[in-house]
Amino acid sequence: MSRNHVSTTVNGDRVEFLCETGQTLLEALRDELRLTGTKEGCGTGDCGACSVMVDGRLVCSCLMLAVEAEGKAIETVEGMADGDTLHPLQRKFIEHAALQCGICTPGILIAARALLARNPDPTEAEVRFWLAGNLCRCTGYHKIVDAVLDAAREMRGG
Amino acid sequence: MRYEVPKTLEAAIALLAGANGRGRVLAGGTDLLIQLRSGRAEPELLVDVKAIAEMRAVEAAAGGYRVGAAVTCMELIENEAFARAWPGIVDGVKYIGSIQVKGRATMGGNLCNASPAADSVPALIAAGAVACIAGPQGRREQPVEAFVTGPGKTTLAKGELVVSFLLPRRAPRSGDAYLRFTPRTEMDIAVVGAAVNLTLDDKGVCGSARVSLGAVAARALLVPEAAAALIGTRVDAVALARLAAAASAACKPIDDKRGTKEYRIKVAGVMAERAAVIALERAGRQI
């Protein structure tokens, strides 16, 4: 079977990989590119653990084929920190203990960053609705919402 | 499995027509990828339609709108002019899954997946949307209410695909709304969905209306009897009660884990009434 050749950008780096047509972007990120920060939860687009940005759009990487990434700009959790300096959201998740097992965390960080890029001053309800597609089975969400609101405050300079 | 990204509609149709029924259109993929994963769909060819400009555009047409079938839900939600013209369609689109799912999912896919509970479909039906279809025999148009023939079944012939939706010119003092009932407020599938689209005259009397219900039959229904309860009235309490009764009477639901027949019949009336009140308020804002 012939494999598809895909050229794309991941966190600003040009990358190329080969994939089967049926392979998802999530599988390509983890298995071909060894970027294992993005997690698989359900594999059916319900849990949001595999959230990444594609051309500035928040998507589930399990619901997109790797071949569809041709020419696109992908952003994953590996690109969030600036060297050793964590993104404010990452720091606030640690400060607020907004994670336990950590499987949902990369997807929630990516989703929360996408929210704050659109809406730097969201209400608690807006945070909860935006993150409705990201399931967490550990925290009960409260600490996650607190961390996102606190990060938003800091990023606004307040 | 082969993957193709044709740049023209003609090329997409040729690819699909040449696949002997083993080709599938890939738009947002939010339903198709799950079918591929589970083995329910085993196509030999995937035709990605997202490089076809006509299927990705939202544009003014014939005084109304033409919305490409492969426009994503998030793109449509963010289109302020469209959302002002057809807020009820945007209500429906907003219910289609999470932000992540809406970043990929399309109205064309929502329609062609042919779920009785598809959230954008009752809103499209109430709006009087027409599906523009292209295939090896040329182009045809079909009102959305006639397109789905049953769960998972549509009128698409081999090699055909939905290209776009045509929304009619909006009369002044018009409003539309879609509501659904779900046990959760987000990330759920409609137990009942109801869409109402109405136009008032300059005295506030309803001159025309369309009502559609989802998840209460094998496919989304256009319910002219429910619309008739509104036409010629000021959409007062009496008219709303008649609308609710007509909506409930039109239901042919199943019992399932989301709700019983009796429950769906009752809730359909309530949802239709509430959607009418929102549509009325939206129409009234334009007086």
pLDDT at B148 over 70: yes
Distance CA A16, CA A8 (A): 6
Judge: B100–A21 Cβ closer than 8 Å, yes or no.
Answer: no
ipTM: 0.96
Largest alpha-carbon pair distance within chain A?
56
Convert the pLDDT of each residue in B64-119 to its tens digit. Answer: 999 999 999 999 999 999 999 999 999 999 999 999 999 999 999 999 999 999 99
Mean pLDDT over residues B170-198, rounded? 92
| Nearby residues of A93 by Cβ (< 8 Å), 6 or more positions away | A99, A105, A109, A144, A147
Which residues fall within 8 angstroms of residue A68, CB to CB, at 6 or more apart?
Answer: A25, B26, B29, B48, B50
- Please give the pLDDT value at position A2: 73
Clarify whether residues A59 and A104 are in a common domain: no
Q: What is the pLDDT of residues B204-216, one digit of tens each?
A: 999 999 999 999 9
Per-residue pLDDT, averaged over A36-48, amounts to 97
Q: Which of A52, A79, A106 is the last residue of a domain?
A: A79
A102 with A43, same domain: the answer is no
Residues B213 and B220 sit within 8 Å (Cβ to Cβ): yes
Model pTM score: 0.96
Residue holding tokens 């002219």? B224
Kindly tell me the burial class for residue B148, based on how many C-beta atoms sit within 10 Å of its own C-beta (0-12, 13-18, 19 or more): buried
Task: Give the chain B residue whose CA is nearest to the CA of A128.
Answer: B186
Query: Chain B residue with minimal CA distance to A129?
Result: B186
A89 within 8 A of A148, measured Cβ to Cβ: yes
Question: Are A63 and B2 inside 8 Å of each other by CB?
Answer: no
Q: Is A146 helix (H, G, I), strand (E, B) or coil?
A: helix
B2, B95, B99, B101: best to mutate for the A interface, most A CBs within 10 A: B99
Q: Are A68 and A115 within one domain?
A: no
What's the rounded Cα separation, in Å, for the pair B218 and B63?
33
What domain range is A36 assigned to?
Answer: 4-79
Put simply, whether A60 touches B (Cβ < 8 Å) is yes
Say whether A133 and B36 touch across the interface (CB within 8 A): no
The number of distinct structural domains making up chain A is 2
Cβ–Cβ gap A63/B29 under 8 Å: yes
A63 near B CB under 8 A: yes
The DSSP annotation for B88-141 comes to: HHHHHHHTSS-HHHHTT-BHHHHHHTT-TT-SHHHHHHHHT-EEEEEETTEEEE
Q: Which residue of A lies nearest to B36 if distances are taken between CA atoms?
A: A22
- Hey, are the CB atoms on A65 and B98 less than 8 Å from each other? no
| Band of residue B258 on the pLDDT scale cut at 50, 70, 90 | confident
How far is it, in rounded angstroms, from Cα B214 to Cα B2?
Answer: 35
Q: What is the pLDDT of residues B166-175, one digit of tens each?
A: 999 999 999 9
The Cα of A88 is separated from the nearest Cα of chain B by a number of Å equal to 22
User: Residues 223-242, chain B: which have Cβ within 8 Å of A?
Assistant: none
Residue A42 near residue B97 (C-beta atoms within 8 A): no
Chain A residues inside the 8 Å CB shell of B3 = 4, 21, 65, 67
Going along chain B from its start, the domains and CATH numbers come out as 2-167 (3.30.465.10), 174-284 (3.30.390.50)
Do A109 and A55 reside in the same domain of the chain? no
Element (H, E) at A59: strand A57-60
